[in-house]
Amino acid sequence: MAAAYALTADPARQAAFDVTVVSQGWRIGGKGASGRNAAHSMRIEEHGLHIFLGFYRTAFSLLDQAYGRLGGAADGVYPSVADAFTPQHDVTLWVSPDNGGSGDWRHFTLPMPRWPGVPWQGTEEDLRGAPQRILGLLRHHSAAHGLTELHSHLDAEPKALGSFLDRLKELRAEAALGLHVLYDLLEIGGAVLRGYFTDILPHGWNAWNAINGHDFRVWLISHGASETAAWSESVRVIYDLAFAYRDGEGTGPGTADIAAGACLKLILDLVGGYRGAPMWRMNAGMGDTIFTPLVKCVEQAGGEIRLFRRITAIEVENGAVARVKMQVQARPAGTTYDPFIRVKGLDCWPSEPIWDRLAPDTPRADFENPWDTTHVGEEVLEAGTDFDHVVLAIPPAAAQHLVTGLDNADWTRMVSTLAGASVATHSAQLWFDRPTRAAGWSQPDTVSGAYAPALGTWADMSHLLKDEDWPMPEAMSCQYLVSVTPLPDLPPPGTQDPQVQEAANAAGQADTKAWLNAHAAGPWPALVQNGVFDESAVVTAYDHVNIAPSELYVRTPPGTVQDRLPPDWDGVANMSLAGDWTLSSINGGSAEAAIESGKTAGDALAAKLGVV
């Protein structure tokens, strides 16, 4: 969608390009799509826990423009990007029983700095200044806890930071248990800065590729962090955030890996490079907040959104896309299909097709399930007749089965590397019959990470209840949980076996139940008695396990960034690439990487034709 938006962003481009977006199913967004379930009080059903980070400069800027082009309530969207997001300042970290010196999980809620500005006005200079900001934080927090003797070692110089780490470890041996998280943060911060000033800055302030061949944790240890600190809550939360576990086995450091350069940049941005707050909550579903305004802008600019089209082949001949084949999954009852439902003033995507807007003989199928091939017709688009250029926004694990005739070593290597680095994820949403405080959580509304696997990332998303349609006092809070998960053995895409996705979701529900019995006492102690979670407190729940090739998360293991292709890749004469799996400033799965990639693809295509 970002590429389509970029190609229709101004009158000159609107005149130059005839843009059509083709997508399977009834909604736009892929693994970022959300749906409103009319059978359950218009609850928001997501593919995961989606929160924008405060350094998403490209994504926020593009959305700021998109909201500015629309008419707010008249178009069924928020009046502005500022109305669509809420800043999240607090982060909760969990100290594991074997890492904190006690026999149980303990949590610490950290109020993050409120750096000036708003992210939709952010620039790359924010990241450039992050190391100095982090140095200032280390000075502040060491002084606040009586560790002023460390100040003489806190300088932007590797040798001084090495001395800082040595003295910190001596002091840590005598520290009280309650200072565990503080010492972790100081130690990780010192090692991060020492590594940055040693390995990055001599090659340029943003030379992240210099260390992308190493795992971040190993690199951190090489710059003075202890093995304990390098797998403390301060580091585990980053690996959890990036689903950085081989084969979806997210239980410990043995399977954890992430490219050090990409991870270092993420940490610098996440601590010192954001504006306003480190995280920004969407005030509705991701589909409602992100994809509705983009779709509206594209359509108002003359573009077309063509839904219910499943791509079955992209045929390359003589170095160019010759044709695109697709199944027509359904046809509209009239001339067009309106995909939106209005919920409390917003145009939202439903959790299933709006059946009465489709032809009466439409089969009741799950059009997003890759193992449900139900369709009512077929279409073939020919180059030169139906299209001139293709922007491929299908991730490698799915694209490898669709693109044929492409004999290109870069493409083959990219697909092999990134499909192999793709993992499944599990999302669980729970609506409680009581407020989160009544469930036992006493801290402010938070986003929490590094808790007990598998569902160790949790956020209280109760702010969304006002945008759902619950009869009072039915649902009083809403909790989102997410994790990486092993990918089961699957039949090839195109096999007619709809139960594959249903079985995965059922297994996810069982995993959620087991996790709640074992670990819900951490965040919600009032809901657990004698090791058993009180299921009667759950008004409703939604589990989704992302196993479809197009919904897998593309990780960034060491040594893989070099195999990513840029959005304006020229290996196919009439095809660009778009998605968080392409080469970008992030090089990791995120809305920022996806939107940056799409915008880059659109801008490059416009520049190629002289439309700037």
Look at 142-156, 279-293, 307-321 and tell me which has the smallest mean pLDDT.
Answer: 142-156
178 falls in which pLDDT band (50, 70, 90)?
low
Is 379 found in the same domain as 302? yes
Tell me, yes or no, whether 122 and 191 share the same domain. Answer: yes
> How far is Cα 573 from Cα 355, in angstroms, rounded to an integer?
40
Residue 560 domain-assigned (yes or no): no
Per-residue pLDDT band for 37 (boundaries 50, 70, 90) equals very high
When pLDDT is cut at 50, 70 and 90, the band that residue 9 belongs to is very high
What mean pLDDT is predicted for residues 426-452? 95
Q: CA-CA distance, 592 to 586, in Å (whole number)?
A: 8
Tens of pLDDT, residue by residue over 475-494, are 999 999 999 999 999 998 88
- Domain-located, residue 74: no
Q: Each residue of 109-125: pLDDT tens digit?
A: 989 999 999 999 999 99
Q: Do 436 and 581 belong to one domain?
A: no
At 170 the pLDDT is 85
pLDDT at 102: 57
Q: What is the DSSP letter of 488?
A: P
Q: Is residue 210 part of a domain?
A: yes
- Between CA 552 and CA 331 the distance in angstroms is 28
Per-residue confidence (pLDDT) for residue 86, from 0 to 100: 97
**Where residue 44 sits, what CATH number does that domain have?**
3.50.50
- Same domain, yes or no, for 274 and 294? no
Structural domains of the chain, count = 3
Does 290 fall in a domain?
yes
The pLDDT score that the predictor gives to residue 172 is 78
Residue 535 and residue 496 share a domain? yes
Would 578 be classed as within a structural domain?
A: yes
**Predicted pLDDT at 546:** 97
**Considering the domain boundaries, does residue 541 fall inside one?**
yes
- How far is the C-alpha of 277 from the C-alpha of 114, rounded, in Å? 6
User: Which pairs from 379-385 meet CB under 8 Å and 24+ separation?
Assistant: 379/309, 379/325, 379/326, 379/327, 379/328, 380/323, 380/324, 380/325, 380/326, 381/323, 381/324, 381/325, 381/326, 382/322, 382/323, 383/320, 383/321, 383/322, 383/323, 383/574
Digit-coded pLDDT (tens) for 48-65: 999 999 999 999 999 999
* Tens of pLDDT, residues 570-611: 999 999 999 999 999 999 999 999 999 999 999 999 999 999
Q: How many CA atoms lie within 13 A of 453 on its CB side?
A: 20
Of 273, 200, 515, 559, nearest in space to 413 by CA: 559
251: number of Cβ within 10 Å: 13
Look at residues 225, 259, 278 and tell me which one is the last residue of a structural domain: 278
Kindly report the length of the chain.
612
- The least confident of 59-63, 369-373, 463-467, 473-477 is 473-477
d(CA 33, CA 287): 5
- Which residues constitute the domain of residue 503? 425-546
Does 474 share its domain with 384?
Answer: no
> Do 322 and 217 share a structural domain?
no
Sign of CA dihedral 584, 590, 595, 597: positive
- In this structure, what token pair is assigned to residue 28? 């736009």
Name the amino acid, one letter, at 316.
V
Domain boundary among 246, 262, 278: 278
Asked whether the predicted pLDDT for residue 322 surpasses 80, the reply is yes
pLDDT (mean) for 164-188 = 82
Which of 566, 593, 455 lies closest to 49 in space, CA to CA?
455
Question: pLDDT tens digits, residue range 528-564?
Answer: 999 899 999 999 999 999 999 999 999 999 999 999 9
In single-letter form, the type of residue at position 187 comes to: E
Q: Does 162 reside within a domain?
A: yes
Q: Which amino acid is at 54?
A: G
Query: Mean pLDDT of all residues in the chain?
Result: 95
> Per-residue pLDDT averaged across 389-405, rounded?
97
Which whole number is the average pLDDT over 246-251?
91
Looking at the structure, tell me whether residues 269 and 294 fall in a common domain. Answer: no
pTM: 0.96
Residues 6+ apart with CB under 8 A from 454: 250, 251, 426, 483, 484, 485, 511, 515
Q: Does residue 71 have a pLDDT over 80? A: yes
Q: What separation in angstroms does the CA of 415 have from each of 40, 145, 310, 610?
A: 40, 50, 20, 31
255 and 131 in one domain? Answer: yes
Token pair in block for residue 530? 């004698």
- As given in the structure block, the two tokens for residue 431 are 């609506």
If asked whether residues 132 and 195 sit together in one domain, one would say yes
- Give the model's pLDDT for residue 355: 98
pLDDT at 103: 65
- Do 495 and 462 lie in one domain? The reply is yes
Is 267 in the same domain as 322? no
65 part of a folded domain: no
Three-class SS state of 383: strand
